[in-house]
Amino acid sequence: MASVDDLLRDLRAEVDRILPPGVDVTDLDFEAHELVLTTRRPAAFADGALIRRLARSLHKRIIIRPDPSALSDQAAAEARIREIVPAEAGLAGLAWEPAVGEVTLEAVRPGLAIGAQGGTLDRIRAATGWNPRVVRAAPVPSRTVLDVRAYLRKVAGERRAFLRRVGRRMHRSPAEGEKWVRLTALGAWREVGRSCAMLGTQDSRVLVDCGVKFDEGDSATPLLGLPEVQPLASLDAVVVTHGHLDHCGLVPLLYRLGYDGPVYCTAPTRDLMALLCMDSIQVAEARGARKPYDAEDVRRAVARTIPLDWGETTDIAPDLRLTFHDAGHILGSSVAHFQVGEGLCNVAFTGDIKYERSWLFNAATNKFPRLDALVTESTYGGRDDHQPGRQAAYEATRDIVRRTAGRGGKTVFPVFAVGRSQEVMLVLEDLMRSGEVPRMPVHLDGMIGEATAIHAAYPEYLNSRLRDRILKEGDDPLRCDVFHRVDSPADREAVLDDPQPCIVLATSGMLTGGPVLEYMRAWGPDARNTVCFVGFNAEGSLGRKLQRGWREMPVQEAGGHQTVRVAMDVETIDGFSGHCDRRQLMNYIQNMEPRPELVLCGHGEAGRCVELADTVTRKFGIEARALKVGETVRLR
């Protein structure tokens, strides 16, 4: 059985055979899924032809890294870069990573900084020796995005060593004997929250999502102590479908418990995960509750994250390849498609999906090269779970806001910071721009402003219409001047004291905490006001109780509790949901290419999971099951 060193030795021999005389390689090693070649002559690879030839021959993704001796002085290199990059690209700044020989260009128009077929970057490599990367300079600075980028530059050397370790583990020789594929249900099966599953083979073990559950009285964590999962240090990877806490909120805990491997997700998912996990620490500290992890664990998760673009197929273990596809749920949300072995099994995890074009995103992808098993959410999979479309939601928003403002009241939208907030913002901007509702301030409290800034940093993950409006027309509706960030208690007091009609979007969406409770306490007793729910409210949450007719709200006061009478209107607009309803889930499976042989229904209350599985079997003749937490099913 060949070792990784044997494989690298063979690859080195093939590289030496292909390279022309005088082009040397001073180092060759795996960094995760990439084969990194270090050379004193990076200019020889500048036009890309030699890299393409190596990739075809070696069947590896090739990265060229300059030897330190090949790097120009930073001041001289910056001068040359500014000469080469067209002024129209809007070069906003340069960030240097000497440990890996990279320079990051922040540009207002990244495409112009890259150039046709990467021509501008090739010129930079040839002229300076530095390996250029281009990122978008966000029009609205995001503290999270800036902090993540700065931290990754700070730990570039440490990260390089980590990626080498991952690469060597990934390229170990596969085991001999019978091949098999199993899935173990660890969380969010016949329930919502603590999403987690383990995909295992004879060679590899991967966690898909690792989230927290917020329902009082229920276990908050997945079943990470099962023998199939332990020890965590032996896991090959963690794959995160999207940046909501019920899917990513316990990823940092894994590092505290002994895991030290990679996390795969999209770049916006990485940033949203960092934002929400850091916030969850602050919330726990404010409540005096026990924290499952600290800020250092979050930073470690960020440093271990390997971001992937949609459609980019990547080896993540000896017998596993991963491809992310658009899930249509929130920014960067992905359907995770795994190819196991050479055609042994193909399985897709939807995470949370929306099979409908929304104001923010395109519809979820359901076309794959091959597919044997599908793991799907069932949040609204019950027989009676039918939601109105986006147009109905638009009209309902217009009517509620207009009616509330007409009686001098204020409209409060309890929202999740990511996804629904931005959809509601787009609708409100359109309603005010068209004059269908009076123009009034829209206050964004909680993490909504920061989450919106992250959206601005990644317009390529928005739907094509909105992306063109932002990038080609220079019109970003999320930056409309009606929106005002509430960034301090003093800002909040000013909003609460203002007698004029206004709109507030505030977290949390289920009224389980957050600044929205301050607005509910102050404005709840006034019948002129309205609270309007636009997202899912879990069983047991205060939001669900108000939807069912409760009109009392417990609030904490210094030294005890009090009860606030809720006299304001309580409205629900279902059409904003980022989840599929029953009809969309069935259409997603019906239109899927190819049709899977097995469908596993999770991420839904027990009755909904069972009802969806039963209907899929009856209507499509596909074996469908609603697993319970702790169950294992063999896929191959």
What CATH number should be reported for the domain holding residue 597?
3.60.15.10
Q: Is the CA virtual torsion 433, 438, 439, 443 positive or negative? A: negative
Contacts of 48 (CB under 8 A, 6+ apart): 117, 118, 122
Q: Is 76 in the same domain as 64?
A: no
One DSSP character per residue, 58-124 reads HTSEEEEEE-GGGPPPHHHHHHHHHHHS-GGG-EEEEEEETTTTEEEEEESSHHHHH-GGGHHHHHH
Tokens at residue 311, please? 């459609």
Least confident of 314-318, 372-376, 555-559: 555-559
pLDDT exceeds cutoff 70 at 303: yes
Number of domains making up the chain? 4
Higher pLDDT, 575 or 268: 268
Q: Is 584 in the same domain as 619?
A: yes
The mean pLDDT of the chain is: 93
* pLDDT bracket for residue 508 (50, 70, 90): confident
User: Over pLDDT 90: what percentage of the chain?
Assistant: 82
Residue 10 is assigned to a structural domain of this protein: yes
250, 222 Cβ separation under 8 angstroms: yes
Q: Which of 69, 97, 124 is the last residue of a domain?
A: 69
The whole-number pLDDT of residue 284 equals 85
Q: Is 567 in the same domain as 587?
A: no
Contacts of 17 (CB under 8 A, 6+ apart): none
Q: Which of 527, 545, 576 is the last residue of a domain?
A: 576
Task: Look at strands 320-326 and 334-340 and give their pairing.
Answer: antiparallel
pLDDT exceeds cutoff 80 at 556: no
The whole-number pLDDT of residue 139 equals 80
* pLDDT bracket for residue 181 (50, 70, 90): very high
Q: Is 56 in the same domain as 79?
A: no
Q: Is 447 in the same domain as 553?
A: yes
399, 360 Cβ separation under 8 angstroms: no
Higher pLDDT, 504 or 141: 504
pLDDT exceeds cutoff 90 at 346: yes
The whole-number pLDDT of residue 420 equals 87
Q: Averaged over 432-449, what is the pLDDT? A: 95
The whole-number pLDDT of residue 269 equals 98
Residue 168 is assigned to a structural domain of this protein: no
Q: Which of 46, 69, 92 is the last residue of a domain?
A: 69
Q: Is 422 in the same domain as 339?
A: no
- Domain of 554, CATH number, reads 3.40.50.10890
pTM for the model stands at 0.92
Residue 615 is assigned to a structural domain of this protein: yes
H or E, element range at 138: none
Which residues constitute the domain of residue 350? 181-384+579-634
* pLDDT bracket for residue 557 (50, 70, 90): low
Residue 341 is assigned to a structural domain of this protein: yes
Q: What tens digit of pLDDT does each residue of 189-247 get?
A: 999 999 999 999 999 999 999 999 976 555 689 999 999 999 999 999 999 999 999 99
Q: Is 537 in the same domain as 436?
A: yes
Q: Is 200 in the same domain as 109?
A: no
Q: Give the three-class secondary structure for 38.
A: strand
Q: Is 240 in the same domain as 360?
A: yes
Residue 610 is assigned to a structural domain of this protein: yes
Q: Is 356 in the same domain as 433?
A: no
* pLDDT bracket for residue 558 (50, 70, 90): low
Q: Which residues of 403-435 are buried (b: 16+ CB within 10 A; e: fewer)?
A: ebbeeebbbbbbbbbbbbbbbbbbbbbbbbeee
Residue 155 is assigned to a structural domain of this protein: no
Residue 160 is assigned to a structural domain of this protein: no
Residue 169 is assigned to a structural domain of this protein: no
- Domain of 106, CATH number, reads 3.30.300.20
Q: Is 461 in the same domain as 438?
A: yes
User: Over pLDDT 70: what percentage of the chain?
Assistant: 98
User: Rounded to whole angstroms, how far apart are CA atoms 535 and 503?
Assistant: 17
Q: Is 405 in the same domain as 525?
A: yes
* pLDDT bracket for residue 287 (50, 70, 90): confident
User: Rounded to whole angstroms, how far apart are CA atoms 448 and 442?
Assistant: 12
pLDDT exceeds cutoff 60 at 409: yes
Q: Which residues, in sequence order, are bridge partners of residue 555?
A: 562
Per the listing, tokens 């009076």 go with 438
